[in-house]
Amino acid sequence: MNNLLEAHSVSKSFGNHVALNKVSVTVPQGSIFGLLGPNGAGKTTLIRIINQITMPDSGHILLDGQPLKNAHIKDIGYLPEERGLYKSMKVGEQALYLAQLKGMQKAEAKKKLHEWFERLEIGDWWNKKIQELSKGMAQKIQFVVTVLHEPKLLIFDEPFSGFDPINADIIKDEILRLKNNGATVIFSTHRMESVEELCDHIALIHKSNKILDGNLIYIKKQFKTNTFEVGLKTTNPELVRQNLTEHFAVSPAEFRTLGDELKLNVKVGENESSNDLLSYLTRQGEVSHFVELIPSVNDIFIKTVKSN
Amino acid sequence: MNHLPLIIKREYLTKVRNKSFVIMTVLSPLIMIALVTLVAYLSQINNDKVRHISILDESGLVYDKFTDEEFTKYTILDNMTLKTAKTVVKASDAYGLLYISAFDKPESITNGIKFYSQESPSISVISDLETAIESRLTDLNLIEKEVDISLIKSSTIDITVNQENFDGERTSTLDSFVKLIFGGASGYLLFMFIIIYGNMIMRSVIEEKTSRIIEVIISSVKPMQLMLGKIIGTSLAGVTQFVIWIVLGAVLFTSVSLIFDIDLSQIQTPQKELLQQSLSDSDINTQVELAMAAIQRLPLVNLIIAFFMFFIGGYLLYSSLYAAIGAAVDSETDTQQFMFPILMPLVLSVYVGFFTVIEDPHGTISTLFSFIPFTSPVVMLMRIPFGVPIWQQIVSLIILIITFILAVWFAAKIYKVGILMYGKKASYRELLKWMKY
């Protein structure tokens, strides 16, 4: 798989403050790439460098194998976290202006805009001023403007903020549709459930350094602890717990079931498989619940950030 | 990709379509015309009022010098003491009472002349009275000294010094006056233009910051392009406004004065008095002819070229600074601390222009300030009608252009960093730090 974007040890300081310290990331073609990190970690600086808004102090960035240059502006669509539109300008006029700034021809932009407006059912907003629209409505326009010129690389910084759940869902579907049409997406957010749902790859930036990156499934495999959530119906729970503790690392667990069976988190040793645990359990009682605990992005995020 | 024309077009259209711009453009000349008409009308009313002045001349030698004029009527009082005269005049609606005491010699009279009135009299009334009395007393004095007055009158010579420079071009007091008007007007125009449209640019930068569109825009265009587009677009809107004002003003002025038949020359302006003094007796037609001739003697080509060069240079210099200020702050209320260093040289240049240049267009101060880039556009524009050597203009222009380039570079740096800074209160130290980013 080709990489659409490669950042090689990019550094940037503002005065004495180091915003990025030799950060390298690779964004595979056609992926949805989650750029994560606590507030102030340096995500926005990296995104701005990719957008050529700020220049890096050192390091370089390749887009489609070529060093980043002015002509790449039309290949990128950027929805910043701090976003807005000219309040007193009309929707259509403004969208046309922004599209033309991205290098589109006026007629083509107009045609595509009408298509988008129709699909999102906002066609009658064309002659309204932004200040007459609600925040969510303006966000929709902003989204359309970002993706209108069909860029290879889309960068969304908190794309769902300001949307109600229904519209957030519409936008999510649109992002997935764009991905299926071949776009690569860099996605920066604090909403871990959207990362879980959308991202194939992630990078975690903390205090100006990249501390984790890669394929999400691969990362999850790295972080999994071979722990299983177990529900066991038995006549003597105390005895079973003691027996288990001799073989495995056991801790109490909390999950909802229909009965009041013994609930435990059981960690399997490195040389054992889930089958070993399962067969052991069946000898102790009736197994009503058996699930491998897969670490959530949220867990991975918190764990990695805290350990650094 | 060059987006400059696109940005200029948007900035221009946004400004021109703005409601307050339209209102300002249409309303300003109307208000101006209304004001001028009002002033003209009022001063006409004022002049229409007939003043009655009573005269008590105990010497009996001066009163016949006063003859009724259109708006001033004289009443000669007889056989009265000063006290009765005062009571009589006070009771009547007369403007005042002129009292001339009896005297032996015209030279000894000075303290014996008084003017009594309810309110302090207008300066022009008093000076008219003084002129009349002086002339009569001088005559009397001459007669007393046995001088033949008719001989003096016939030998009086009236001269005007014909001024000419070494290249043989004629100049006159009127010439200086015309130069003053041309220089002053162009300098002041630049000053106003910078303040009005500089502010407009600043507000438009702040608007992009507060509406948070700035990051969207600069992911497509370079901040430098955006800044220049903004400056040029706004200036074009400004030029449009000026052209509309001039056209509208001319049309309205003519029609109003035609409709109301108000003689606009009634307005007494200091300039007009100056003009009249310099031309004492010639009638209005020769005045106009002389003025036209004076205008034709101006270095017009030089003036027009220099006007454009210095106007553009000065305007761009200041407006880039305005743009930088807009980028450095979050709201218009925060701009105060940065406005002062911009307004200072501007105001200074207008003062230097109006005081020093008029006094001595080629003096040290005027020359110096016409080279300092922050004051040179205004001061040089005011000096040029008086004839400034071309090399001086070129040197001043080069200094201005170099400063302008530096200022744009400096402003662009601040602009680039500032537009993405929110919530940080910018101080001068902070700005210095931005330069290094």
pLDDT less than 50: residues of chain A: none
Q: Cβ of A76 and B6 within 8 Å?
A: no
Q: Which long-range contacts (CB under 8 A, 24 or more apart) does A241-247 make?
A: A243/A284, A244/A280, A244/A284, A247/A280
Per-residue pLDDT tens digits for B250-302: 787 777 667 765 554 554 444 455 555 554 444 556 666 666 677 766 777 88
Residue type, A193: E
Which distant-in-sequence residues (6+ apart) come within 8 Å of B68 by Cβ?
B74
pLDDT band for position B421 (50/70/90)? confident
Whose structure tokens read 């918190």? A302
Chain B residues whose CB is inside 8 A of the A90 CB are none
Q: Provide φ and ψ at A67, rounded to 5°.
A: -55, 140
Nearest to A14 among B207, B219, B437 (CB): B437
- C-alpha to C-alpha distance for A215 and A203, rounded to whole angstroms: 9
Give the pLDDT confidence score for residue A58 in this predicted structure: 92
Q: Are residues B143 and B178 in the same domain?
A: no
More confident residue, B433 or A102: A102
Cα B105 to the chain's mean position, in Å?
48
Nearest partner of B271 among B359, B172, B174, judged by Cα: B174
Q: Are residues B242 and B318 in the same domain?
A: yes
Q: What's the burial of B8, exposed, middle or buried (CB within 10 Å: 0-12/13-18/19+)?
A: buried
Collapsing DSSP states into helix, strand and coil, what is residue B389?
coil
Q: Are residues B283 and B400 in the same domain?
A: yes
Q: A39, A48, A101: which to substitute to probe chain B, counting the most B Cβ within 10 Å?
A: A101
Q: What's the number of domains chain B is made of?
A: 2
Q: Cβ of A88 and B1 within 8 Å?
A: no
Beta strands of B225-332 (E only): which ranges?
Answer: none
Give the pLDDT confidence score for residue A186 in this predicted structure: 94
Q: How many residues does this entry show for chain A?
A: 308
Domains and CATH numbers, chain A: 3-221 (3.40.50.300), 225-292 (3.30.70)
Mean pLDDT of chain B: 81
Tell whether the torsion through CA atoms of B387, B388, B393 and B399 is positive or negative: negative
The answer to whether residue B41 sits within a structural domain is: no
Segment B408-434 mean pLDDT: 79
Q: What is the CATH number of the domain that holds B125?
A: 3.40.190.10
Residue B311's domain comprises 172-436
Per-residue pLDDT tens digits for A297-306: 888 998 888 8
Q: Cβ of B14 and A88 within 8 Å?
A: yes
Structure tokens at A18: 């180091």
The answer to whether residue B42 sits within a structural domain is: no
Q: Are residues B260 and B404 in the same domain?
A: yes
- C-alpha to C-alpha distance for B84 and B89, rounded to whole angstroms: 9
Q: Cβ of B216 and A103 within 8 Å?
A: no
Apex A178 CA angle, A172 and A181, nearest 5: 145
The answer to whether residue B386 sits within a structural domain is: yes
Percent of chain B scoring above 70 in pLDDT: 85
Within a 10 A sphere around the Cβ of A155, how many other Cβ atoms? 27
Per-residue pLDDT tens digits for B45-64: 766 677 888 888 888 777 77
Give the pLDDT confidence score for residue B267 in this predicted structure: 47
Structure tokens at A53: 């808004």
Q: B215, B416, B427: which to substitute to probe chain A, counting the most A Cβ within 10 Å?
A: B215
Nearest partner of A155 among A295, A46, A22, A267, judged by Cα: A46
Chain A residues whose CB is inside 8 A of the B1 CB are 70-71, 73-74, 103
Nearest partner of B7 among B342, B183, B187, B232, judged by Cα: B232
With a cut of 80, say whether residue B163 has pLDDT above it. no
Chain B residues whose CB is inside 8 A of the A51 CB are 219
Q: Cβ of B1 and A76 within 8 Å?
A: no
pLDDT band for position B6 (50/70/90)? very high
Collapsing DSSP states into helix, strand and coil, what is residue B207?
helix
Chain B residues whose CB is inside 8 A of the A146 CB are 216
Q: Are residues B183 and B129 in the same domain?
A: no
Q: Are residues B70 and B210 in the same domain?
A: no
Q: Provide φ and ψ at A113, rounded to 5°.
A: -60, -45
Per-residue pLDDT tens digits for B344-401: 998 998 888 888 877 788 888 888 888 888 888 888 888 888 888 888 889 999 999 9
Chain B residues whose CB is inside 8 A of the A74 CB are 1
Give the pLDDT confidence score for residue A273 in this predicted structure: 84
ipTM for the complex? 0.81
Range 34-53 of A in CB contact (< 8 A) with B: 48, 51-53
Nearest to B219 among A53, A70, A84 (CB): A53
Q: Are residues B106 and B189 in the same domain?
A: no
The answer to whether residue B329 sits within a structural domain is: yes
Nearest partner of A285 among A254, A264, A306, judged by Cα: A264
Q: Are residues B246 and B183 in the same domain?
A: yes
Chain A residues whose CB is inside 8 A of the B218 CB are 53
Chain A residues whose CB is inside 8 A of the B22 CB are none
Last residue of a domain, one of B150, B180, B210: B150
Give the pLDDT confidence score for residue A272 in this predicted structure: 82
A162 touches chain B (CB under 8 A): no
Q: Are residues B90 and B193 in the same domain?
A: no
Q: Are residues B243 and B327 in the same domain?
A: yes
The answer to whether residue B139 sits within a structural domain is: yes
Q: Cβ of B211 and A14 within 8 Å?
A: no
- C-alpha to C-alpha distance for A205 and A45, rounded to whole angstroms: 11
Q: Provide φ and ψ at A201, rounded to 5°.
A: -125, 150
The answer to whether residue B62 sits within a structural domain is: yes
Q: Between A and B, how many CB-CB pairs are < 8 A? A: 67
Nearest to A101 among B212, B221, B437 (CB): B221
Q: Are residues B118 and B187 in the same domain?
A: no
Give the chain A residue whose CA is nearest to the CA of B436. Answer: A15
Min Cα–Cα distance to chain A from B212, Å: 5
Last residue of a domain, one of B120, B150, B180: B150
Collapsing DSSP states into helix, strand and coil, what is residue A243?
helix
User: End-to-end distance of chain A based on CA atoms, in angstroms?
Assistant: 31
- C-alpha to C-alpha distance for B92 and B96, rounded to whole angstroms: 9
The answer to whether residue B184 sits within a structural domain is: yes
More confident residue, B84 or A148: A148
Give the pLDDT confidence score for residue B281 in this predicted structure: 47
Chain A residues whose CB is inside 8 A of the B433 CB are 15
More confident residue, B122 or B233: B233
The answer to whether residue B167 sits within a structural domain is: no
DSSP-derived secondary structure letter, A258: S
Q: Cβ of B213 and A74 within 8 Å?
A: no
Give the chain B residue whose CA is nearest to the CA of A94. Answer: B10
Q: Are residues B123 and B177 in the same domain?
A: no
Chain B residues whose CB is inside 8 A of the A143 CB are none
Give the chain B residue whose CA is nearest to the CA of A56. Answer: B437
Give the pLDDT confidence score for residue B47 in this predicted structure: 63
Asked whether the beta carbons of A81 and A43 are under 8 A apart, the reply is: no
Apex B286 CA angle, B298 and B33, nearest 5: 75
Asked whether the beta carbons of B152 and B142 are under 8 A apart, the reply is: yes
